[in-house]
Structure 1
Amino acid sequence: MNAVPRLRARALEAAFLGVRTYHRLRPTTPAGRGGRPVFRVAPGTIALTIDDGPDPRWTPAVLDLLAAHGVPATFFLIGDRVAEHPALARRIADAGHEIGNHSMRHPMPFAALPSGLINAEIGQAQRRITDATGTAPRLFRAPSGGWSANVLAATADAGLTPVDWTVNSSDWKEPGVGRVTRALARSGSGHVLLCHDGGGDRSQTVAALSVVIPRLLRRGLRFVAVPAHPAAGRET
């Protein structure tokens, strides 16, 4: 991707996530089938989620780091990128990490798509990821957290659990290792952390996680994958 389209994509995502931040200060429950997206896990645990891969440079670095600390994570994969790197998608699954569906092409704003396109994005990615890994995803995260009644209904129709996040590292903005580290270090019991291994230079993410993971482990938090049926872990 050349510089101008990449900057436009970042500007769009920044604007969209800004709206999400405003609404997160005033918590609401999205209407529609499928229930409220999960953004908490069980007390005493913490869930690291990784979006936008697989990426041939950064996904292996993240996997090596997780393996070094014996930490499981949940990878939300984009179907098109799985098609480009199926062996890497299999490596994630073979390492024992949970794999989620993150749409086929990551269109934004996702919630503004017609219902038919939302269903197609989820369904195509589901097939692509299943073919590559041998395991059907059980979780779905909307691109940039673009939830709506239609998105939740499509998620439910696909038999998937919707997953949001509690702590946004904002690593996709490449704000510097220090800022990413500080954002993640504020995580606590039950939180779901958002990071990325695709879509750009993720060296800051890898560097920050190398500091934050051992720090959170020393605090007694236990890393878990997001469960496929986390009724007990949902925010109430």
Structure 2
Amino acid sequence: MCIQQFLSRLALVLSSVFLLSSCTGIAPRGGGDILVIGDSVMAWNRTSNQAISDVIGSKLSRDVVARAVPGAQFDNNSAIASAVGFDIQSQYPEGRWNWVVLNGGANDMGFGDCGCGDCSALVTKLISEDGQSGLIPTFLDGVQRDGAKVLWMGYYNSPGKSFTGCADDLAALEARIKRNLANRRNGYFLEGEDFVLKSSPSHFAKDDTHPSPVGSAILGTALADIISKADGRSQGRSPQL
């Protein structure tokens, strides 16, 4: 791991400790309406109540539980890491949810064994080339057995350099996830790069990697639109569990 990646990870871990202390991610017993899980892209701007999850809740006037944690990997096999939210699968509390909105995979590559080098084996572990098997499809199967619609948010291209070595593998990962969701009833995918634009500095935080409040608002609004259209209800109407 290069020094830049190490420093980026350290910054994420330190910010995670702070965010966890102010996190609103206490899940109701038995489930709820909308659950948001994932990594720092989902969690960024939470301390100012401007994270993607905050925007979704505001746009839809619906209850959103936010459990995303900066630095989280989709598959983190450390028991301690899982206990504090650094494993995205462990962020899911099970129960009956109407929607589970999530992202992930970049930290598995950036901070895992492949170190944003050749991560093709890791990509296949997460999801096979045909999109039908692997850790991600298995996890999504379980979420949908519990009754939830699934909405995966793809990453965007950023001016930052932290994950440039992962670009090809991240593209392959998300192409497979998109293929899986296209064949899945109540499965949806948002192309993050269609909304947060590398050419628009206002979309990014000072680190040029995470979304600014503007970027979070753009992504949260796009996700809320998908949810609203899929549910066939106007924004602001209370859901029935």
Relative to the length of structure 2, the TM-score reads: 0.37
Higher relative contact order (CA 8 A, sep 6+): 1
Relative to the length of structure 1, the TM-score reads: 0.38
